[in-house]
């Protein structure tokens, strides 16, 4: 998640810049566009370590041809740009590999031709690759009509007949950018569950590009939710439902998640708790002070019911990540253990920093992070990543508290410090991507505030 012009969240999946921190290197990136010169500097740390920069491939590098297939736009211009970036000191390119492009028309019909061509262009330019396996859509995020990538068309067709394969809010409004985790175990997709679809895609990717993994391809990020981030789509700005700094809404009202909630409530001995989500949790654009559930009263998040619901809601998200990362780690295991070539497995989360200075952290709660003033919600998530040898990628690390609206009790710095602390505790790599051009203040980052 990036930051919108109004100070809110902007999930610019293809146009974010990436900085990666670990014990041996710091990698940064930017858009492959007119800002090449400013975004391709090679920083030097105080210990004289070179800082490899990765530039994000913009989504408008692709377009739809007359047959409806995706293709690379302006190949000659792209080739020239790649070579120019290499000459300018850029180390590599970050590319999103879209499920909706590769398995577009029918199940198991994987067409890698676009990426074969693109990877060859990048390799021939002497650049390395970071790959993001994108199981989401950008239909609500991209302003360029031709650059929009939906979920696979056969998935979209299933969704026309069954809206419950998508996350829903309490009014029944769905978000069709990512399949609800409620269908993880349901064979609704031509005999496969959602998890099997993700696993098959990852396996086919590895089989296709095996010779490149660990050599040309140095990092694989696995999409876990909207914009590739492990979270619920609680703040859907793309369709106008939400605007900063609204607290967002819980996204658990598809029939599959509601069935799971009922079962959890029954097992808890409180079947009445399984009928619906919190009824006093406000609306997308509510402020915490207007919402009883996020205050400290009798029916708040601190109540027995509040704890039950938030524990269930967040644990479903963590379980979703656990299963997918286990499959990814198994598929990529031999490349991660190779001493000659290294491969980093990565998972992303959103940085929900508004209302962080309240007790309840409501915007984080609706997104699925059970993080409050009295509970560390990122610790169990980090445990999952640690178990599977995955790095944690975050955004917004360049934003300072004094640059956010004081009224909305934001604290990106304190949130990032909390995540940094738990990452050290669990011994996982913490990586990042920046949302703004902030080379003028990059010393804030390089001095160790995050890495």
Task: Provide the pLDDT confidence category of residue 339 given band limits of 50, 70 and 90.
Answer: low
pLDDT for 9: 39
pTM of the model: 0.87
pLDDT for 435: 63
Q: What is the mean pLDDT of residues 325-331?
A: 98
Q: Is the pLDDT of residue 8 over 70?
A: no
Better-predicted residue by pLDDT, 44 or 183: 183
pLDDT for 143: 56
pLDDT for 376: 98
Better-predicted residue by pLDDT, 81 or 238: 81
Task: Provide the pLDDT confidence category of residue 377 given band limits of 50, 70 and 90.
Answer: very high
Residue with tokens 């921190």: 21
Overall size of the chain counted in residues: 451
pLDDT for 19: 33
* Range among 139-153, 265-279, 336-350 with highest mean pLDDT value: 265-279
Q: Where are the domains of the chain?
A: 2-242+316-449
What pLDDT, in 10s, does the model give residues 164-183? Answer: 999 999 999 999 999 999 99
Task: Provide the pLDDT confidence category of residue 61 given band limits of 50, 70 and 90.
Answer: confident
Reduced to 3 states (helix: H, G, I; strand: E, B; else coil), residue 197 is helix
Task: Provide the pLDDT confidence category of residue 338 given band limits of 50, 70 and 90.
Answer: low
Q: Is the pLDDT of residue 450 over 50?
A: no
The per-residue DSSP string of 30-96 comes to -BSSTTHHHHT---B-TT--B--BEEEPPGGGEEE-TTS-EEES-HHHHHHHHHHHHHTT--EEEEE
Q: What is the mean pLDDT of residues 34-40?
A: 33
From the CA atom positions of the chain, what is the Rg in Å? 21
Better-predicted residue by pLDDT, 53 or 409: 409
Closest CA to 231 of 313, 168, 155: 313
Secondary structure element (H or E) that encloses residue 167, with its range: strand 166-168
Task: Provide the pLDDT confidence category of residue 66 given band limits of 50, 70 and 90.
Answer: confident
pLDDT for 115: 97
Task: Tell me how far apart the alpha carbons of residues 93 and 139 are, in angstroms, rounded to a whole number.
Answer: 23
Better-predicted residue by pLDDT, 288 or 24: 288
pLDDT for 96: 95
Mean of pLDDT over the chain: 86
Q: What is the mean pLDDT of residues 196-206?
A: 99
CA distances from 184 to 128, 166, 187, 224, 358 (A): 33, 11, 8, 12, 33
Q: Is 48 exposed, middle or buried (0-12, 13-18, 19+ CB in 10 A)?
A: exposed
Q: Is the pLDDT of residue 36 over 90?
A: no
Q: Is the pLDDT of residue 340 over 50?
A: yes
Contacts of residue 184, defined as CB under 8 A and 6 or more positions apart, other chains included, come to: 193, 194, 195, 320, 323
Specify the range with the lowest mean pLDDT, choosing from 121-125, 185-189, 278-282, 398-402: 398-402
pLDDT for 183: 99
pLDDT for 239: 85
Q: What is the mean pLDDT of residues 415-432?
A: 94
The per-residue DSSP string of 350-413 comes to ----TTTTSSS-HHHHHHT---BTTB-SSHHHHHHHHHTTEEEEEE-TT--GGGS-GGGT--HH
pLDDT for 182: 98
Task: Provide the pLDDT confidence category of residue 32 given band limits of 50, 70 and 90.
Answer: very low
pLDDT for 7: 34
Q: Is the pLDDT of residue 276 over 80?
A: yes
Torsion angle in degrees (nearest 10) through CA of 205, 152, 169, 237: 80
Share of the chain above pLDDT 90, in %: 72
pLDDT for 39: 34
Task: Provide the pLDDT confidence category of residue 395 given band limits of 50, 70 and 90.
Answer: confident
CATH of range 2-242+316-449; options 1.10.3720.10, 3.40.50.20, 3.30.980.10, 3.20.20.80? 3.20.20.80
Q: Is the pLDDT of residue 323 over 50?
A: yes
């Amino acid at each position: 998640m990036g930051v919108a012009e109004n100070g809110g969240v902007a999930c610019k999946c293809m146009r974010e810049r990436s900085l990666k921190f670990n014990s041996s290197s710091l990698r940064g990136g930017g858009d492959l566009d007119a800002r090449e010169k400013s975004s391709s500097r090679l920083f030097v740390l105080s210990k004289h370590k070179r800082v490899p920069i990765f530039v994000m491939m913009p989504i408008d590098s692709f377009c739809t041809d007359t047959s409806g297939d995706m293709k690379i736009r302006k190949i000659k211009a792209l080739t020239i740009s790649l070579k120019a970036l290499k000459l300018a000191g850029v180390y590599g390119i970050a590319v999103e590999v879209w499920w909706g492009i590769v398995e577009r028309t029918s199940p198991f019909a994987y067409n890698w031709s676009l990426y074969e061509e693109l990877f060859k262009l990048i390799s021939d330019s002497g650049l390395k690759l970071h790959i993001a396996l994108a199981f989401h859509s950008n239909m609500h995020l991209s302003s360029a009509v031709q650059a929009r990538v939906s979920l696979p068309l056969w998935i979209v067709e299933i969704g026309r007949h069954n809206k419950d394969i998508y996350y829903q809010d309490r009014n029944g409004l769905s978000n069709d950018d990512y399949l609800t985790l409620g269908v993880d175990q349901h064979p609704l997709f031509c005999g496969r569950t959602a998890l099997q679809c993700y696993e098959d895609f990852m396996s086919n990717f590895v089989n296709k590009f095996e010779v490149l993994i660990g050599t040309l391809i140095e990092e694989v990020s696995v999409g876990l939710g909207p914009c590739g981030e492990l979270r619920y789509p609680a703040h859907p700005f793309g369709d106008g439902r939400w605007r900063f700094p609204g607290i967002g809404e819980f996204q658990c009202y598809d029939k599959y998640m509601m069935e799971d909630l009922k079962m959890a409530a029954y097992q808890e001995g409180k079947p009445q708790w399984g009928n619906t989500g919190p009824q006093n949790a406000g609306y997308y654009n509510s402020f915490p002070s207007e919402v009883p559930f996020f205050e400290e009263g009798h029916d708040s998040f601190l109540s027995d019911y509040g704890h039950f619901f938030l524990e269930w809601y967040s644990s479903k998200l963590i379980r979703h990540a656990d299963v997918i990362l286990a499959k990814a780690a198994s598929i990529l295991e031999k490349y991660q253990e190779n001493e000659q070539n290294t491969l980093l497995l990565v998972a992303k989360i959103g940085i929900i920093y508004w209302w962080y200075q309240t007790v309840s952290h409501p915007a984080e709660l609706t997104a699925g992070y059970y993080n409050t003033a009295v509970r560390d919600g990122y610790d169990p998530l980090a445990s999952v990543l640690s178990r599977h040898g995955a790095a944690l990628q975050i955004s917004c690390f360049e934003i300072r508290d004094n640059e956010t609206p004081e009224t909305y009790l934001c604290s990106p710095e304190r949130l990032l410090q909390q995540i940094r602390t738990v990452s050290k505790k669990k011994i996982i790599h913490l990586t990042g991507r920046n949302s703004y051009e902030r080379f003028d203040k990059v010393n804030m980052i390089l001095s160790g505030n995050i890495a």
